[in-house]
Structure 1
Amino acid sequence: MNKKILSVHSKSALPKLNYNVAVVNKLEDDFRLFIGKLQDAPEAAYTLLAQMLQDDESVGCDGVGVYLSSYIYELLKLNISLNSNQTDINVILTSTSPRRKDLLSKALPAQQLSIIDPGNQIEYDIKSVRPEIAVMNIALQKIISFAFTNKLTLNQNSIIIASDTFINLGNGERVGKINQESVPLGDQIEKLQSQMGKEIKATTGLVVYKIQDGAIHINNACSTVRFRPLDCPMSAEERQLLTSLVEDKEYKYLKPLLLKEIVTVQDITEAYCVEGKHKNKAGGFGIQDRELFLCIENILGDPCTVVGLPVSIINSRFIDSFITMRSVSEIISSYWPEEIERTKIVY
């Protein structure tokens, strides 16, 4: 397998760019080691992959993972067949996340989108590298695992997307999913509420396998969310929005809050957790949940990055003109239709 993958990557065949020869040589050697470990020692393999991503970023080329992506492309080709008779446009999302499915469904016409469940897979979170590197590493794990557990036949217009999202506090502490079965609900509520009044950073790693380009694109995007303090009350306009929301079945559980003279961020976050809406979400929240959005002061950057998929990058860099993709502004309006909501987004 090693020779087959690396046969097209002799040093003379590498792009003639301004690069550090020693770093590129090390990447090639490390990739051989990665292949050797992938099946029997995957955690060690992906630890090495994270370091390779970090090394590749320092090569000095335009982009992240320029050299490494070419090696991974050859690896994926081993398990993917190409059907030259089919030319349908097809965007494939490899994800179990309902948030990502919903987001990409809002962005693309249904006939151009396929959602494929990659199945249960172990994800190796390498904490020895920066969040931007670690989250790209997990996105790569997803697409590699997906390719080797699904016998795929694709056409030249196929695009496969994988991503993952980290939530970090200002001090760098990573906040994962907070609804572990062994943790009492009160502690889960406290974990979500501990983020209120603070600024958090959402980092999403993105891997796009674009058949037409003959390449893997590796990138990441960051957005910042500032939460309001726990004791912050809803304004008259926000209370009016809350009154409107509870008429919807999804938000009906909040109706008892309207009996209170003053509704605070603490009230909403507690009800949010009791209802179970914090479950299986990084950080214990989803900004697409409009009641939770009331607890936000502002968002700097693409809010879709926080939801779990940086649509702005996909739209501007990877989707061809013959694919009709909705703009980020249109997606924002579909999630947060009221002006009082959209004014919180600085994009």
Structure 2
Amino acid sequence: MSVNISSELMDYDVILASASPRRKELLSLMCENFRVIPSDCDEKIPEDVTPELAPEYLSGIKCRCIASVYDLSVVIGCDTVVICDGEVLGKPVDEADAIRMLKMLSGKTHHVVTGVTLGRGCRYSSFSVDTAVTFRELSDEEIKAYVKSGEPMDKAGAYGIQGLGALLVEKIDGDFYNVVGLPVSRLAEELHEFLKKVQSK
């Protein structure tokens, strides 16, 4: 489906509830003017929420937090997690943690799941996108050199596929931009459908 989402969004105040510079850059592909207002709400995940559903759950918290204040705006909440062997890999706390994560990912296929929630007023819509990423076998020297570059330290799973981390990846199955942090193609379609519901209210 071809969606001219940029023109559709021109009539709305759009807010990205994320401080990620990568998401900001990707959202600019479909929306010329939007504001960035990160959520500062409590992001605790209940025990009954599985790792695969956690991103969508957290995106909903972020979206509702901002939409409750800016009820006339279209708010986009996002959260991305890296899942390997059933463990959620967040941002490393230090270099040793980054090395641990990269050793875990070496030679394996892991999943990057991004949850997105759209909100306006009391209307919300959520979805998730899952991309499988396979790392080649990495030597200890490669891992240490990559960690020393500093790139892994602010990224879930301790790597950035849009940077030097691309050299670690053997293949991906799914949306590349989802791994970066925002599944832009799916988001454009979901926004198109969401705005139709908003207009029909």
Tell me the CA shift for residue 113 of structure 1.
Answer: 2.3
Larger radius of gyration: 1
Structure 1 letter corresponding to 2:162: Q
Tell me the CA shift for residue 199 of structure 1.
Answer: 0.7
Structure 1 residues 109 and 206: alpha-carbon distance in aligned structure 2, compared to 1, 3 A threshold: closer
Secondary structure class of the residue paired with 2:88: coil
Structure 1 residues 173 and 153: alpha-carbon distance in aligned structure 2, compared to 1, 3 A threshold: closer
Q: Any stretches of 5+ residues in structure 2 without a counterpart?
A: 1-9, 194-201
Aligned residue runs from structure 1 range 22-171, under 5 A: 88-105=11-28, 107-110=29-32, 112-118=33-39, 120-148=40-68, 150=69, 152=70, 154=72, 158-169=73-84, 171=85
| Bigger strand fraction | 2
Tell me the CA shift for residue 267 of structure 1.
Answer: 4.3
Aligned residue runs from structure 1 range 250-261, under 5 A: none
Structure 1 residues 226 and 164: alpha-carbon distance in aligned structure 2, compared to 1, 3 A threshold: same
Q: Does residue 282 of the first structure (1) align with residue 156 of the second (2)?
A: yes
Structure 1 residues 129 and 89: alpha-carbon distance in aligned structure 2, compared to 1, 3 A threshold: closer
Tell me the CA shift for residue 138 of structure 1.
Answer: 0.8
Structure 1 letter corresponding to 2:86: G
Tell me the CA shift for residue 153 of structure 1.
Answer: 6.2
Give the TM-score of the pair, scaled to structure 2: 0.80
Identity over the aligned pairs, expressed in percent?
34
Structure 1 residues 207 and 153: alpha-carbon distance in aligned structure 2, compared to 1, 3 A threshold: closer
Q: State the alpha-carbon separation in 2 of the partners of residues 127 and 281 from structure 1.
A: 24
After TM superposition, what 4+ stretches of structure 1 lie above 6 angstroms from structure 2? none
Structure 1 letter corresponding to 2:106: M
- 1:163-213: CA deviations, max 9, x gaps? 1111111x21211111x2xx5x344323323211111101111101257xx
| Bigger helix fraction | 1
Q: State the alpha-carbon separation in 1 of the partners of residues 143 and 156 from structure 2.
A: 15
Q: State the alpha-carbon separation in 2 of the partners of residues 210 and 313 from structure 1.
A: 19
Higher relative contact order (CA 8 A, sep 6+): 2
Structure 2 letter corresponding to 1:269: I
Q: State the alpha-carbon separation in 2 of the partners of residues 226 and 217 from structure 1.
A: 30
Q: State the alpha-carbon separation in 2 of the partners of residues 191 and 104 from structure 1.
A: 28
Secondary structure class of the residue paired with 2:11: coil
- 1:275-328: CA deviations, max 9, x gaps? 221112111111111x210110111111121122221211123137xxxxxxxx
Is the Cα contact below 8 Å between 2:37 and 2:66 reproduced in 1?
A: no
Is the Cα contact below 8 Å between 1:131 and 1:203 reproduced in 2?
A: no
